[in-house]
Structure 1
Amino acid sequence: MKRPIVGIISNTHLINDQYPTHAGGTMNIEAVSDVVGAMPLVIPADPRFVRINELMETFDGFLLTGGRPNVHPEEYGEAPTEAHGQFDRNRDAITLPLVRACVDRGQPVLGICRGFQEMNVALGGTLYPEIRDLPGRMNHRMPPEGSLEEKFELRHEVSLTLNGVFHRLLGATKVMTNTLHGQGIKTAGSRIVIDGEAPDGTPEALYIRDAPGFSLGVQWHPEWNAANDPVSRPLFKAFGDAVQCWSEGRRPSSLKSA
């Protein structure tokens, strides 16, 4: 049986500080292949090379990955500061209209970390440049030292809305997640529903109200240990069911709140 095709948004990198690349993390590729059950293809996130209509016709769903560069604050009406960090305007030019196109069409999209933030900005929301600088907030950033296992270890609870989309999907109102982000949602965009929060109130899970298809985002990194983690696996499996439906010409139902 032909597998559905999931487009994985890439990030730009320099190999040896010289050779430019568009790259996708192996953990994302494994999650798409092994848990989603789809063929993973990495998309160069640059409007010089791809067009939104071409992507929509080529892929059955999209995974918006994390990345070191942040969404440029001009995309949500603010001036850049040193606290906003690095940017990738080419990725902004692909992912933000891609989110809106997927939501309008009902084509499956799953946002992770930066992808979670892109979904919010695409629908008119804003971001804090540095969560740890806010009163009462914890440091959500990746530990600077240690092994991958230590950097991706489960570090805090996420409380999910009772009978909400993520509660029904994951079968619990509290789940443990990793945390590797500096920025976070400030104001939710139009139709963005915050469906889960960290203990300090930082938004961690969202869905898009009245979206005709699968449109979910999480601030944590479920691609880590996706095949075995009790939170990651059902999330990617649900995404996989949606992209399978799309590939067969059946339009997956939206995940409405109760």
Structure 2
Amino acid sequence: MSEPIRLARRVAELTGCTRAEAEAYIRNGWVSVDGVMVETPQLRITDEVVALDPEARKKPVEPATLLFHKPAGFDAFNGIGSAAMGIAPDTRWADDPHEQRVLQRHFERLTPMVPLEPEASGLIVLTQDGRVWRRLTEDLATIEQELLVGVEGRLAPYGLHKLAQGLTFEGRELPPCKVSWQNETTLRFAIKGVVPGQLRAMCAQVGLDVTAIRRQRIGRIAIGKGPEGAMPPGQWRYLPVGERF
């Protein structure tokens, strides 16, 4: 048996590249050991079969942004990591149209964006990309969100008009929004600057109790639909680099 050496050294010897290039190839998911992709340059190996993917590129891998259909019932914005939410390679949506290769690094240091209350379900964004972070932090008040709100009760006179304009929340006047009936028990809101608790308070002011909230869209980015319908709760897809909110 050979003496154990670092995987990066073996890749450098096999390909004639520098050690730094070998480490980049490994971290970017282009190297397999006995047929299994490995992303750890410091892995110690002996006589295992090491191979570099023929399509390997030296171009750095872009930071990932994941679009997740959060189920109702847990807080995705207070200390719960991606693993606790069930975000892993095997929960990727089968109809994800993006051809991005899944890398373990895509599930590390993900920051959840655009708050959504724990009881609500629907689209949340988790990103490693500073550009996405800035867009969804600095410009969030200008980005329209679409939410479906299940309600019960008796709508007050002119209630739909009041929801669209003229209400207050936590002492501030709310800007106009678009409100319509999706069906007899569900309202559709297209609204900017919404914060957790706001839709429940708005509905209460016109005589309605909220039974469910689901976020469908943030800006131009929706949960996504495939041949079998919308992406199910608990699954995720990639946001292609360059696609804008």
Larger Rg: 2
Q: Which TM-score applies when normalising by structure 2? A: 0.26
TM-score (norm 1): 0.25
User: Which structure has greater strand proportion?
Assistant: 2
- Report which of the two has the higher share of helix: 1
